[in-house]
A and B are shown apart, each in its own frame.
Chain A
Amino acid sequence: MNPLVGIIGPLAVVYCAAPLAMTMPFWALAFAGLLLSWAAFVRRLALPPLPSRPIKLLLVGGFLVLLQLQGGGLTRFAALAGLVTVVMALFFATPSKPRDAVQLAILCAVLLFIELIVSPSGAMFAHALGGCVVVAVVMTSGAAPSREETGRLLGRGVVFAFLGVPVAVFLAFVLPRFNGWFGGVFGARQATVGFSDDLSPGEVARLAQSDAVAFRVRFLNGAPKFESLYWRGALLWDTDGFNWYNAGDLLPQKVWGSGTDKGIVQEIFLEPHSQRVLFALDKPVLLSPHEDPDSIVGSEDFVFERKSPVMRAFSYRAVSQSLAIWSEAFESEPIVAMDAAHRAKALFLPHTKDAAALALVKTWTAGGASSETAVSRALAYFASGEFVYTLRPGRVSGLENFLENKRGFCGHYASAFAVLMRLAGIPARVVTGYQGGEYNAWGRYWIVRQNDAHVWVEVWLEDRGWVRVDPTAVVAPERLSEVRDEELDWLSRGMNGFSLAWDGFRFTAVSWLLGAGDQENESQVDEANGFAQFSFQDGQRILITLVGLFALWMIVRYRLRKRVRPDEALTAAYHEFCEALSRRGFTRERSWGPYAYRDFIVMRALSDVVAAVLVFDTYARLRYGAVPFDARDVASWRERAMKAAGQLRVVPHGGFVDRQW
């Protein structure tokens, strides 16, 4: 051990905890600060040492309870950082063994890890690189010989930190990332596939080939049936006759400041997709982000967007209510009549008169059929069996071409259906989003992937409002059914199971650490066991009192301690030792010095005398030697002496030892 570690230790804690200081609970900070200053000055000011291990463990336990109490106000990472800092300050700030130094270094690394997870930025990365040097310096100073120049010691730490560079480069190469390294280091990694704001029907096929995760969902109050897992994304109003887009010039955006919270509650963890659109179960009435509450805007059409593109993972809570859908019975709901502007927009078609399409639509509206009848007829037309669902329909140039070939997938069907509805005079619009998902039993949540991307249609029925119609569902019902495990071969099943387990672990850990879903659980717990009376403030007060008492106790100990010179202490300890020996039957003549007494004991002891001989020898060296010593040496001598005295047994009847020695 190098004595410098007494200074390096506290400094290392300060360096590594500094970036997290603001997120940590302040009492943790105050407590750690107190302990660190104590550790830093314990030698210089001859302060009493920190309390024993059981008391330290009790303090840590109390700290854990307080963290639990504060709960909701803290992310798990902030709590963890506070805990780690306090443990470091309590146990390892002034390592006394190389092993302690290693533990300190590891905890430093844990803090670096947390800070990089909490705020992955270039500045934080630079700090963490410095932190790697700190970690190495702590370890080298723990293992270095006690006489070593400071410069050399620190230099060696720097060298060892950067000896890691070649290995780091090597590992970066053997562990290639799908998205490449630099996207992550120099800015948030962006999703390479994802929705764009418009729909060219062919585009969905590109999405269908990616099994990248779009988002993960946890249902908090029960999941709906698989068939109704329609994840609503964007609404498209405008069309050129085949492609759909949003001119976005008409609809007023309404901020959903308040709304009902009755419905299906979901926690959604969205992967970055560089767009603004947010997904939720159809139809979402309320979206609230886990952080930054003002970042979401919603419209009257149950479409939610983020104010800025989602460049990093983003999580929010959504409340959805059941939407009127075509196949289900009518649900009475107050219908707000559509205004003229919207109606016009929902019926607008460019002037491309397609004779075949017009003829087709005429058959649906023939005989003054109602809108509902027309929709039924249209669905029956698509369900007739002539249409083929395929992700490789070949080139589809437009509506006419599609109706001729009768080959396509959801994009084509939704687009064509909506255009035909408008031709029939029924207001229609296209919805993009996802359908279905994969249930992960490991973490009890749903994974929605890019290949779950889906497009469907909403039509306006005068007495029901906007109703969801999914033409793909009638063309290819199997497209919308859940893939069961039994249908896969064993290898795929195994691989799938493994990747689900890993994803489950990942998701659970991340969502737990980010503290999502806490409020809900806590309020439930509070109601359940009446824990609510004991508030966080109470806990805080108790902790501050505890810390105050602790400080007071340390000060009192410091004040009460007698200032004894080491040589006096040694003499006193020697007398104590002699008394202990005479209690055990080795009575000392007053004139005997340590060596005479030692020889007497060697002659009279039945038991092993080596420990006692060494104790005498050390005493003589301390007492009469030229080497200075301090109170610690005396304390350790006293400890060994009393232990040795306890082991001695005298020969009975005052005889000498009659044994082989």
Chain B
Amino acid sequence: MWIDRVKTVLRGRDGRVYILPTAGGIVFLTALALFVTGAFAFDNDYVFAVTFLLSGTFLAGMFATHFNLDGIRVISVATTSADVGGFAEITVVFANPSRRTRRALSIRLGGTNDAPHEVLELLPARGKASILFRVPLPVRGVFAVPDLRVTTVYPLALFASWMRLSGSGTYCAYPRPVGTQRFPGGGDDGGKRRAADDDDFYGHRDYQPGDSLRRIDWNKRAQGRALVTRIFAREAAVKFVFSLRDAPGDIERQLSQLALWLREAFRARRAFGLDLPGISIPTASGREHLRRCLRCLAGFGGDS
């Protein structure tokens, strides 16, 4: 889980509320017009009275729909990134500074109709509420959180009002950690067996095809866990700088391979760095460093 937390206070670039009658609202209005015509035709005051009453409801609905949206703000956007094929999670926190409870807000991330869309059932008066979007990540890249479009037809569904709130922050689709190559330039082959044996136990990493069977932690396996390979202190001290040159295939394959190596290096608690055309990240270790490297891979070749 890597979380980019962007704490910003956003007033919608324009928190302006737009409003139009819905299709139902137009039909309703047409019906009212017909009723008035009928009231004239039949000279029927009861029909006038009922039609006027319904017209009042119509108008009240318009104001209520407008004020259900007016003044809403986004106070923070937090994102998590994931591998391609997974989902990024975008958490948006809305604030309602007014004394009116807002209800049934439909929130769409981005302008298109197939954009992720969630319903905020209740935004309490002088309170906050958050919405979690799960955004599928079909393509590698670094993406900006798109603008939010908040829509409501509450309370009568005769009018729809909407407003746009600008998004902020980014999320990444990391290359999928897939690859066929083993750790490059590492001291992990059978030839180092003795040296490794001499070493102190350092930790575990996931089993990779080709690892020496002797180094598999069979005890863990016996406990019903997945296959893991033991690594030792001297190996851990080795620093890796991964480069595209070490990975085969086209660029996406290469990036996937690097992503896999980065993960493995991280799990093996080694220091690692990246050497990409135009960018190089010096060796370091830790979760934050891994994130930085993956982000670099995600954005590789792109504008960022």
A143 and B138: CB pair below 8 A? no
A161 contact from B51, B57, B157, Cβ within 8 A: B57
A145 and B31: CB pair below 8 A? no
B41 and A509: CB pair below 8 A? yes
B155 and A144: CB pair below 8 A? yes
B50 and A106: CB pair below 8 A? no
B45, chain A: closest CB distance, angstroms? 3
B53 and A116: CB pair below 8 A? no
B55 and A113: CB pair below 8 A? no
The A137-172 residues at the B interface (CB cut-off 8 A) are: 139-140, 142-148, 156, 160-161, 163-169, 171-172
B52 and A109: CB pair below 8 A? no
B59 and A167: CB pair below 8 A? yes
B-contacting 9-mer, from A54-62, A96-104, A301-309, A412-420: A96-104
A116 and B136: CB pair below 8 A? no
Interface 1/0 per residue, B3-42 and A, CB below 8 Å: 0000000000000000000111101100100010010111
B31 and A168: CB pair below 8 A? no
B46 and A98: CB pair below 8 A? no
Q: Which chain A residue lies CB-closest to B61?
A: A160
Q: How many angstroms from the CA of A143 to the CA of B161 in the assembled complex? A: 13
Q: How many angstroms from the CA of A156 to the CA of B121 in the assembled complex? A: 16
B85 and A599: CB pair below 8 A? yes
Task: Judge whether A487 is part of the interface by a CB distance below 8 angstroms.
Answer: no
B140 contact from A140, A313, A661, Cβ within 8 A: A661
B-contacting 9-mer, from A120-128, A397-405, A461-469: A120-128
Q: How many angstroms from the CA of A409 to the CA of B85 in the assembled complex? A: 97
A116 and B46: CB pair below 8 A? yes
Task: Judge whether A660 is part of the interface by a CB distance below 8 angstroms.
Answer: yes
A307, chain B: closest CB distance, angstroms? 24
A98 and B45: CB pair below 8 A? no
Contact partners of B56 in chain A: CB under 8 A:
163-168, 171
Given A102-B24, A102-B28, A105-B28: A661 touches B155 (CB 8 Å cut-off)? no
Q: How many angstroms from the CA of A164 to the CA of B60 in the assembled complex? A: 7
Task: Judge whether A426 is part of the interface by a CB distance below 8 angstroms.
Answer: no
Q: How many angstroms from the CA of A506 to the CA of B39 in the assembled complex? A: 10
Q: Which chain A residue lies CB-closest to B30?
A: A106
B49 and A143: CB pair below 8 A? no
Q: How many angstroms from the CA of A99 to the CA of B159 in the assembled complex? A: 10
Q: How many angstroms from the CA of A598 to the CA of B44 in the assembled complex? A: 66
B46 contact from A124, A156, A661, Cβ within 8 A: A124
Q: How many angstroms from the CA of A609 to the CA of B138 in the assembled complex? A: 7
A116 and B60: CB pair below 8 A? no
B136 and A106: CB pair below 8 A? no
Task: Judge whether A184 is part of the interface by a CB distance below 8 angstroms.
Answer: yes
Task: Judge whether A189 is part of the interface by a CB distance below 8 angstroms.
Answer: yes
B84 and A661: CB pair below 8 A? yes
Q: Which chain B residue lies CB-closest to A105?
A: B28
Task: Judge whether A181 is part of the interface by a CB distance below 8 angstroms.
Answer: yes
Contact partners of A608 in chain B: CB under 8 A:
138
Task: Judge whether A136 is part of the interface by a CB distance below 8 angstroms.
Answer: yes
Task: Judge whether A110 is part of the interface by a CB distance below 8 angstroms.
Answer: yes
Task: Judge whether A112 is part of the interface by a CB distance below 8 angstroms.
Answer: yes
B22 and A99: CB pair below 8 A? yes
B46 and A139: CB pair below 8 A? no
The size bracket of the interface on B is 35 or more
B179, chain A: closest CB distance, angstroms? 12
Task: Judge whether B158 is part of the interface by a CB distance below 8 angstroms.
Answer: yes
A139 contact from B43, B52, B157, Cβ within 8 A: B157
Contact partners of A167 in chain B: CB under 8 A:
52-53, 55-56, 59-60
B42 contact from A117, A147, A602, Cβ within 8 A: A117
> Interface SS of chain A: helix, strand, loop or mixed?
helix
Task: Judge whether A510 is part of the interface by a CB distance below 8 angstroms.
Answer: yes
In this complex, how many residues of chain A approach chain B with their Cβ under 8 Å: the count is 67
Contact partners of B103 in chain A: CB under 8 A:
144-145, 148
Q: Which chain A residue lies CB-closest to B49?
A: A168
Q: How many angstroms from the CA of A134 to the CA of B121 in the assembled complex? A: 23
Task: Judge whether B145 is part of the interface by a CB distance below 8 angstroms.
Answer: no
Task: Judge whether B233 is part of the interface by a CB distance below 8 angstroms.
Answer: no
Q: How many angstroms from the CA of A518 to the CA of B199 in the assembled complex? A: 107
B36, chain A: closest CB distance, angstroms? 9
B130, chain A: closest CB distance, angstroms? 16
B55 contact from A160, A171, A661, Cβ within 8 A: A171
A510 contact from B41, B52, B64, Cβ within 8 A: B41
Task: Judge whether A658 is part of the interface by a CB distance below 8 angstroms.
Answer: yes
Q: How many angstroms from the CA of A109 to the CA of B40 in the assembled complex? A: 17
Task: Judge whether A338 is part of the interface by a CB distance below 8 angstroms.
Answer: no
B54 and A132: CB pair below 8 A? yes
The B224-275 residues at the A interface (CB cut-off 8 A) are: 250, 252
Task: Judge whether A441 is part of the interface by a CB distance below 8 angstroms.
Answer: no
A661 and B252: CB pair below 8 A? yes
Of residues B49, B51, B154, B156, which shows the largest number of chain A Cβ atoms within 10 Å of its Cβ? Answer: B156
Contact partners of A603 in chain B: CB under 8 A:
178
Contact partners of A165 in chain B: CB under 8 A:
53, 56
B-contacting 9-mer, from A244-252, A572-580, A610-618: A610-618
Task: Judge whether B276 is part of the interface by a CB distance below 8 angstroms.
Answer: no
Given A128-B46, A602-B85: A164 touches B157 (CB 8 Å cut-off)? no
Q: How many angstroms from the CA of A106 to the CA of B44 in the assembled complex? A: 19
Q: How many angstroms from the CA of A171 to the CA of B36 in the assembled complex? A: 11
A140 and B85: CB pair below 8 A? no
Of residues A131, A132, A177, A603, which shows the largest number of chain B Cβ atoms within 10 Å of its Cβ? Answer: A132
Q: How many angstroms from the CA of A142 to the CA of B104 in the assembled complex? A: 11
Contact partners of B92 in chain A: CB under 8 A:
none
Task: Judge whether A89 is part of the interface by a CB distance below 8 angstroms.
Answer: no
Task: Judge whether B144 is part of the interface by a CB distance below 8 angstroms.
Answer: no
Q: Which chain A residue lies CB-closest to B68?
A: A143
Task: Judge whether A421 is part of the interface by a CB distance below 8 angstroms.
Answer: no
Of residues A144, A177, A505, which shows the largest number of chain B Cβ atoms within 10 Å of its Cβ? Answer: A144
Contact partners of A166 in chain B: CB under 8 A:
56
B121 and A145: CB pair below 8 A? yes
Residues of A at under 8 Å CB distance from B? 98-99, 101-103, 105-106, 109-110, 112-113, 116-117, 120, 124-125, 128-129, 131-132, 135-136, 139-140, 142-148, 156, 160-161, 163-169, 171-172, 175, 177, 181, 184-185, 189, 313, 505-506, 509-510, 598-599, 602-603, 608-610, 613-614, 617, 658, 660-661
Sampled A-B contacts (25; CB under 8 Å): A102-B28, A103-B24, A109-B28, A109-B31, A113-B35, A113-B47, A113-B50, A120-B47, A135-B54, A139-B61, A139-B156, A142-B157, A143-B157, A147-B121, A147-B122, A160-B57, A160-B64, A160-B156, A163-B57, A164-B56, A167-B53, A169-B52, A175-B48, A184-B48, A613-B136
12 further A-B contacts with Cβ under 8 Å, apart from A101-B157, A103-B27, A106-B27, are A102-B28, A109-B28, A120-B45, A125-B49, A136-B57, A139-B156, A144-B104, A144-B155, A145-B104, A148-B103, A167-B59, A609-B85
The 7 closest A-B pairs by CB, nearest first: A164-B56, A102-B24, A167-B56, A184-B45, A168-B52, A98-B157, A163-B60
